[in-house]
Structure 1
Amino acid sequence: MNRSRILVTGGSGFVGSAVVPLLRSAGVQVRVLAHQRSVAPGPHVEVVDGDLTDPATLRGICRDVDGVLHLASYIGKDEERCAAVNVDGTRRLVEEAGRAGVGRFVQLSTAAVYGNGPFRKVSEDAVEPRPVSPTSRSRLSAERFVLGAGGAVLRPYLVYGSGDRWVMPALLRMLRALRSGLPERGAAMLSLTEVGSLARSLARMAVTAPPQRASGVFHACASEPVSLRELVVATHRHLGFPLVGGDQPFERAREELVAAGCDSHLLDLFGVDHWFDATRLGTVGGCASGSGLSAGLAAHAAWYREELLPDPSSAHSGEPAGT
């Protein structure tokens, strides 16, 4: 990487916490837009307080930067807040970047914009997005400002690793509720992304990918999917999650989840094919593949065991992160 200056939003979040140290260690000058959660300044890191919902705090934020890495988003069911942060906030940031003549703009979005599936090895232009939640609807709307300005949008599906408060907690809750077996033999094929691999992809897109090719939509997933059953076995081995055996029809599994007090949407996340082709990202210098599932889970096992397993109530359903 070169000595660019990159503005990062969401630098203290799940993905941002992996991206900022990576940029810093590569000698990239990082300007972090901080809101709510603090980010410690240090070598190569400048921290600026700001709020995507407050236009006054964004004025001049893109001055003297070479690229914007927009990782911040609101994930929740509040439609007004989704619009204020994800849609209007992104629009304002794109406008600021345009006024400052910034040449690169990379946004972290989510493959949840496609909806519930099934999707099997679909490329970026093969499926019309049909988002089903306030979060994914607003993130799709935000993408349009970035794409309209010639920027890049990365869409991972399920992102896991240290700091994950959505994906593995949701899987754990589902496994604890499914007493009679996995839906349809656990055959659903899923695209997963380890957070370190995603951080490397984002950093490369913001700093080193050829500018003329680093635009449009890119799936940011491992090159090969894993089945739900493979995921269950791997999380049992590395994280101590329940090893659910057996098989049951999809709708019976949904009934079992509801009876256990779980959101049935968990079954749509993990029990239906969500396999996205990430070939395009690899062609522009991104690192779509990264480590395999077993190695990825092993690298983050200590964090998951300490932060997640002691408190079963901490597992909840949520938007895929990229979520």
Structure 2
Amino acid sequence: MDKILVVGGTGFIGSAALRALTGDRPPKPGEVKALVRRTPKASEAVPGVEYVTGDLTDPASLRDICHGIHTLLHCASHISADEDKCRAVNVDGTHALLAEAARADVHRILLVSTTAVYGTGPHRDVTEHERTPAPASATSHTRLEAEQAVLAAGGTVLRPPLVYGAGDRWFVPSVAELLERVPALPENGRARLSLVAVDDLARLLATLARTPEHVPPGTVHHAAHPHTLTLREFVALLGETLDLTVPQDGLPLDDYLTRLHTAPGRVSAHQAALLAEDRWYRSPLWSRADCTPGPGHRTRLSEAAPWYRKALTPRTPSGR
């Protein structure tokens, strides 16, 4: 195996990619490296991976990080409403990483981006070249800039949609919170969504990292599971696998957002509205890479159910 560096190796997608890269056989020393801000505990580290510390916001800490690396898999990003922080990691950090890759003559660069760069919907059966990105948030705007830098360097960009699975602290937890705040579905849950389980996405990333000839340099690809679900269908699966209450009622989006405003929480009205419009994308990459998209959403949610049950259980404050 050519040497691979995974950037963001303790993140949701990065850690899954490391497991996929090492799952079929233990790697030889130095074959699979992970750039992390802090070395994980032994119990959380992926066996066989060499962890190296560095910070995308500190170019000096990245010096020689790509030495001897054949493939760079960039899974790190900052997600928040703070544009300065997003720019520091997603844009400036990517440029610093690309500079090191160029110095080390890295052969292949893969960036994990997001379909959120397309901005507001509806998006229906969208191909990679059908719609011009129009990001609507600081996170997606700066991630699009990272894409442009990687493409200019001859790298390849993957855009997954909503990602779920063990380690997901945003998508399913957000849906669960919204169901608690407003026991109804916006637009009756009709919106059709592209999804992908993190383990399936990770297998795709590992396949592309090992066999880069499947995707030409300087190209963009969707990484969504071919089977889409409506929001109501997805919530029904959550009801089956996580014992969440599935609302029968639906509300027009404006009425839903009004109700949501009266029950404050972590998930914003903007984020909730994204689940009320079609967001599904054509993804021929699975067949092109000769990689199965996996057993399907019901199976993957069932596999992740123990993690979600623990993550969604309210914690009792210490001392009470």
Which sits farther off after the overlay, 25-34 or 64-73?
A: 25-34
Distance between the aligned counterparts of 1:240 and 1:91, measured in 2? Answer: 44
Matches within 5 A, 1:302-313: 302-311=306-315
Percent identical among aligned pairs is 43
Which residue in the other structure is 2:192 paired with?
A: 189
Instruction: Tell me the CA shift for residue 287 of structure 1.
Output: 3.6
Matches within 5 A, 1:254-293: 254-262=257-265, 263-279=268-284, 281-285=285-289, 287=291, 289-293=293-297
Which sits farther off after the overlay, 127-136 or 263-272?
A: 263-272
Which residue in the other structure is 2:124 paired with?
A: 120
Which protein, 1 or 2, shows the higher relative CO under an 8 Å CA cutoff with sep ≥ 6?
1
Instruction: Tell me the CA shift for residue 149 of structure 1.
Output: 1.4
**8 Å CA contact retained: 2:37, 2:54:** yes
Distance between the aligned counterparts of 2:264 and 2:40, measured in 1? Answer: 35
Instruction: Tell me which amino acid in the other structure corresponds to 1:30.
Output: V
Which sits farther off after the overlay, 188-197 or 254-263?
A: 254-263
Instruction: Tell me which amino acid in the other structure corresponds to 1:226.
Output: L
Instruction: Tell me the CA shift for residue 290 of structure 1.
Output: 2.4
Decide whether aligned partners of structure 1 residues 137 and 258 sit closer, same or farther in structure 2, where only a CA change above 3 A counts.
same
Which residue in the other structure is 1:4 paired with?
A: 2
Instruction: Tell me the CA shift for residue 252 of structure 1.
Output: 0.8
Matches within 5 A, 1:12-51: 12-27=10-25, 28=27, 29-36=31-38, 38=40, 40=42, 44-51=48-55
Please state whether the residue corresponding to 1:107 is helix, strand or coil.
strand
**8 Å CA contact retained: 1:201, 1:286:** no
Matches within 5 A, 1:147-166: 147-166=151-170
**8 Å CA contact retained: 1:6, 1:67:** yes
**8 Å CA contact retained: 2:253, 2:273:** no
Instruction: Provide the TM-score with structure 1 as the length reference.
Output: 0.90
Decide whether aligned partners of structure 1 residues 271 and 212 sit closer, same or farther in structure 2, where only a CA change above 3 A counts.
closer
Instruction: Provide the TM-score with structure 2 as the length reference.
Output: 0.91
Matches within 5 A, 1:1-323: 3-27=1-25, 28=27, 29-36=31-38, 38=40, 40=42, 44-179=48-183, 181-210=184-213, 213=216, 215-262=218-265, 263-279=268-284, 281-285=285-289, 287=291, 289-311=293-315
Q: List runs of 5+ in structure 2 lacking aligned partners.
A: none
Q: List runs of 5+ in structure 1 lacking aligned partners.
A: 314-323
Q: Deviations over 1:111-149 (max 9, x none)?
A: 111112110010011111111111111111011111111
Please state whether the residue corresponding to 1:129 is helix, strand or coil.
coil
**8 Å CA contact retained: 2:158, 2:223:** yes
Decide whether aligned partners of structure 1 residues 25 and 247 sit closer, same or farther in structure 2, where only a CA change above 3 A counts.
closer
Q: Deviations over 1:248-298 (max 9, x none)?
A: 21211111111211421233221111101111x124316473231111100
**8 Å CA contact retained: 2:152, 2:218:** no
